[in-house]
Amino acid sequence: MATVVHVDGSSYRRPGARMLVDDEGFLTGAISGGCLEGDALRKAMLALSQQKTKLVTYDTSNEDDMSIGIQLGCAGIIQVLFEPINSSLHYNPIELIRKSISKRQDAVLLTLFNLDLKNHEQNGTCLLMEEDGNLIGSLQYQQLHDAFIKDMKEVLTARKSIFKSYVVEDRSVTAFIEFMLPPISLVIVGAGNDAIPMMQIANTLGWDVRIVDGRNTHARPEKFQSACQVLVSKPENVLEQLPIDGRTAFVMMTHNYNYDMAMLRALLSMDIPYIGMLGPKKKTDRMLKEIQDAGAGLDDKILEKVYGPTGLELGAETPEEIALSITAEILSVMNGTHGGQLKKKTDVIHSRIDASISIKKYN
């Protein structure tokens, strides 16, 4: 497993980007836009043959560097950790990551490396803290155990990854303390043909996708093979059959006013960050007015999570373009951004503050 553990400056991928390399040289995932993968494959195969974790620095700010490509122009220094995966070890890095997403809860992953002694043994991905504070894995630096746990708890509370260097008796170790979120869960309410490209794009993004419809003629598993769940249900019984959390988005696209209306009424009482309504704005406004006239109190906080019409303004026309527009807006909302054009952004794309390494010294 190759993991970007730190970036100083610009890079295509940020810390936490991962790529798997098997012993036949097949790649899954990416740590860059393609410029590092060729050399990273060679480094990964070497780590596999030696069964030794390695830290490699890629300096893409050097335009004369011929080792990984000519004039990449990314202007960043990228630290990549290569870890052989021993499947016989109960808490190998892959198992820790698997456990971090299996419960659909927030978690913190600790990865240790040594920037000063890159040729020495690197500890790698070693410890997972679950949302309830439960620890999975092991630590070699027992004298730093309490410091690691304290900082991992702070990351879990702040919901933001950090980097720290710990110095003990003139020896140092750097930690990538990574805040892990579960993947976005998309519930598509409506099993028409226009739901297929929505499912396909979301699946490409690594989201969990569920299909809901009241018609068994439309909601067929063979039609939506990559969906986690295909549910045929009346709207009043849907929510009790779905896992719903703070990373769940709903999109109403049944083209049935009454079904969408019943679903919207049920969803407004729940803490859901995104409720998308396919169709014109007047349709959504009419639904919300009917719900209010029926006695439901809809304040601004509740109404803010209703996106109708759903999607970003891309000039979308085809079902595929509309699906792209909607999934882009969901991603923007989940990431807390506005979905604007990057060329109009006055600051850098990724904050440089996030990459700063704070130093703690211990006697």
Q: What is the 3-state secondary structure (H, E, C) of 124-179?
A: EEEEEEECCCCEEECCCCHHHHHHHHHHHHHHHHHCCCEEEEEEECCEEEEEEEEE
Sign of the CA dihedral with 292 first, then 295, 296, and 301 last: positive
For 294, the enclosing helix (H) or strand (E) is none
Return the CATH class of domain 185-335: alpha beta
pTM above 0.85, yes or no: yes
Domain with CATH 3.40.50.720 in the chain: 185-335
pLDDT in tens, the chain (363 residues): 999 999 988 788 889 999 999 989 899 999 988 888 889 999 999 999 999 999 999 987 765 554 454 345 566 789 999 999 998 888 999 999 999 988 899 999 999 999 877 777 789 999 999 999 999 998 888 889 999 999 999 999 999 999 999 988 777 899 999 999 999 999 999 999 999 999 999 999 999 999 999 999 999 999 999 999 999 999 999 999 999 999 999 999 999 999 999 999 999 989 999 999 999 999 999 999 999 999 888 888 999 999 999 999 999 999 999 999 999 999 999 999 888 888 888 777 766 666 778 877 776
Q: What angle do CA 183, 186, 187 make, to 5 degrees?
A: 145
